[in-house]
Structure 1
Amino acid sequence: MSAPLVEVQDLAKVFDVSPPWLNRIVERKPRAFVHAVDGVSFSIQRGRTLALVGESGCGKSTVARLLVGLHGATHGAVRIDGEDIARTLAGPGALKLRRRMQMIFQDPYASLNPRWKVLDIVAEPLREHGLVASAADAKARVGKLLDAVGLNPADADKFPHQFSGGQRQRISIARALATQPEFLVCDEPTSALDVSVQAQVLNIMKDLQREQGLTYLFISHNLAVVRHMADEIGVMYLGRLVEVADKTELFAKPRHPYTRMLLDAIPDIHMSGRARTPVQGEVPNPLQPPNGCSFHPRCPLADERCRRERPPLLEIRGVRVACHAVEEGRAG
């Protein structure tokens, strides 16, 4: 197997959420920190899709922003084709690296400038990277990009408010594809859309991946969408990866109790009668995470070791999983 296009090693991001200095002095409160991402490691092969799933607040979107350099990592490394992005983005090669990776944001209503026409929105990266020589060249390139995402080239002369949510997200995809990137980070790109429109946008993304050999990091909480899009799935809980597996393997035989809980939350429309683990408890306060395994307060398999010792992400029978019960054979 060839070297992966994207490598993430021990990635972490800590946010200082302390109240102002004077409040801390008067109220005698210590500084507060949130470990939004806590030691995440994964890789993505060229032309493949890794999906990150988990409940809201688990750190998925922070990982996405770290990968494209919108946040600086507290520690750890992100490499594109073996190139450390933190070092590259701080040097003269930043613009070249930006061409190779782009991001599709979650909200198509907030990610497009309402004062700009679609022509200017999609052509902006072309102009910034010096990929067009004239206004006529820019218009022709934008027309081709709009056509690639299922829009009419004549739509270039319209404003964002003249489009539906699904059409706006197609404009966002066209903008992301303008620099012909190799790697796209998709942060819940269809969560704000109706189900029928979601299917159209996802099919366009699949077609573009097949035609252009794109590599995706796909962030979502919708397991049906993930099943359609992903080749490999990483399950996150409270800033950490708890299971990473091939899509078919994960849906057929989930190992981690949290993965099982997520899959059991999907309605069983086939009424198969399979045993289902009810959802228990709430996500802990990230300011005061539990000791040991962060999932142990909600886990039916937790024992004293789980309360005391944080499990590492180990490869067990072809699946990477962080669970003492799976490691000890107690998970069934």
Structure 2
Amino acid sequence: MTAPLVQVDGLAKIFDVSAPWLNRVIERKPRQFVHAVDGVSFEIARGTTLALVGESGCGKSTVARLLVGLYPPSRGAVRFDGADTRETLAGSGARALRRRMQMIFQDPYASLNPRWTVRQIIAEPLQEHGLVTEARALDERVAALLAQVGLSAADMVKFPHQFSGGQRQRISIARALATEPEFLICDEPTSALDVSVQAQVLNIMKDLQRRQGLTYLFISHNLAVVRHVADQVGVMYLGRLVELADRGTLFTAPRHPYTRMLLDAIPDIAMTGRQRTPVQGEVPNPLNPPSGCAFHPRCPHANARCSSERPELAEFKGIRVACHAVTEGRI
């Protein structure tokens, strides 16, 4: 067995969201902290896709930013190809690491510079990393990258506002591919697009993975999309992983009550007569999370232990799950 390309161990990020000092003194309020990511651990094998799913505010995008170094972790570590990314990014290997991992952002309308042409946008990483410097070679490389994502060389002279949302996201993918990365972090890359356009973008990403052996961390709240692209699926709730399993296992035999709740909320297109259950309750306030298992106020299987003792993510019958009800055989 080869070592995984990405290893995340006990990753956490705490944000200080306190009011200004004077306000706290006058109102006699303590400092406030949000545990946006709280002890997340997973691995991604080369050439595979791990999807992180969960409701808005569960910490998925924070994990993405921690992996690429946009946020420093409060604790824990991220290892890329065996090396600690925090140490690498602080040293002389930062440029080489950034070339090997790239990120595709959620909003194609905000992630492209509106004052730059497509040529400038895609050429920037090539020039920044010194991969191509001569103007003619640069044009040829940009044209080749555009062709990879289904656009033409004639689009180089256009500006982002001249494209649709799906075309803009293709430009973002082309820019991310410019440095020939091994690892792509995709932060809800299709959530701002129409369903038909989503399928086009996802198919492009799958084709690129097959041809170039790319490794993906795919972040989404859309389980139908995840079922199409992922090899493994991690379900997050309030900053923690509650279930981690292969795609087939998770969709056919979900264990955690929250995973079951998410899957039950998916519309039944096949019209099998299965009862559709909407997701119950609200995500708790992250400034004041529940004691014990964070999901227990919404869980139909919760007992006294669930409200007092936080479950750890542990191996259980071939998957990893954090649930007392599952490990005790109550569900």
The answer to whether the superposition gives a TM-score over 0.5 is yes
Secondary structure of residue in 2 paired with 1:18 = coil
Q: Which amino acid aligns with 1:43?
A: E
1:117-163 superposed Cα distances (whole Å, 9 cap, x missing partner): 00000000000000012111111100000000000011111111111
1:276 Cα shift?
A: 5.4
- The answer on 1:264 being equivalent to 2:255 is no
Q: Name the CA distance, whole Å, in 2 between partners of 1:109 and 1:155.
A: 17
| Matches for 1:304-323 after TM superposition, within 5 Å | 304-323=304-323
Q: TM-score scaled by structure 1?
A: 0.98
Match of 1:31 in 2: 31
* 2:216 matched residue in structure 1: 216
Q: Does 1:15 align with 2:12?
A: no
Number of aligned residues: 331
Shift of 1:279: 2.6
Q: Which runs of 5+ in 1 are unaligned?
A: none
Paired residue secondary structure (1:9) = strand
Which residue of the partner structure matches residue 41 of structure 2? 41
Amino acid at match of 2:299: C
1:76 aligns with 2:76: yes
3-state secondary structure, aligned to 1:8: strand
Q: Hey, what's the Cα distance between the residues in 1 that align with 2:73 and 2:58?
A: 16
| 8 A Cα contact 1:66 1:72, kept in partner | yes
Counterpart in the other structure of 1:123: 123
Q: Does 1:164 align with 2:164?
A: yes
Which amino acid in the other structure matches residue 96 of structure 1?
A
**Paired letter, 1:44:** I
SS at match of 1:211: helix
> What is the Cα deviation at residue 271 of structure 1?
3.4
Kept in 1, the 8 Å contact 2:58–2:239? The answer is: yes
Q: Match for 2:121: what amino acid?
A: I
- Distance in 2 between residues matched to 1:271 and 1:173, nearest whole Å: 36
Measured in 1, the distance between the counterparts of 2:82 and 2:273 equals 48
* Offset from partner CA, 1:268-305 (integer Å, 9 cap, x none): 23333445555321100000000000000000000000
Deviations 1:168-206 (A, max 9, x none): 000000000000000000000000000000000000000
Q: Could you say which residue in structure 1 is the equivalent of 2:134?
A: 134
* Secondary structure of 1:103 counterpart: strand
Q: What is the DSSP-based 3-state SS (H/G/I as helix, E as strand, rest coil) of the residue aligned with 1:86?
A: helix
Letter in 2 for 1:60: K
Percent identical pairs in the alignment equals 77
Question: What is the root-mean-square deviation of aligned Cα atoms in Å?
Answer: 0.9
Task: Could you tell me which runs of 5 or more consecutive residues in structure 2 were left unpaired when the two chains were aligned.
Answer: none
Q: Distance in 2 between matches of 1:138 and 1:6?
A: 31
Conservation of the 8 A alpha-carbon contact between 2:267 and 2:276: no
Q: Is 1:152 paired with 2:152?
A: yes
Give per-residue Cα distances to partners, 1:235-285, cap 9 Å, x unaligned.
000000000000011000000000000000001233334455553211000
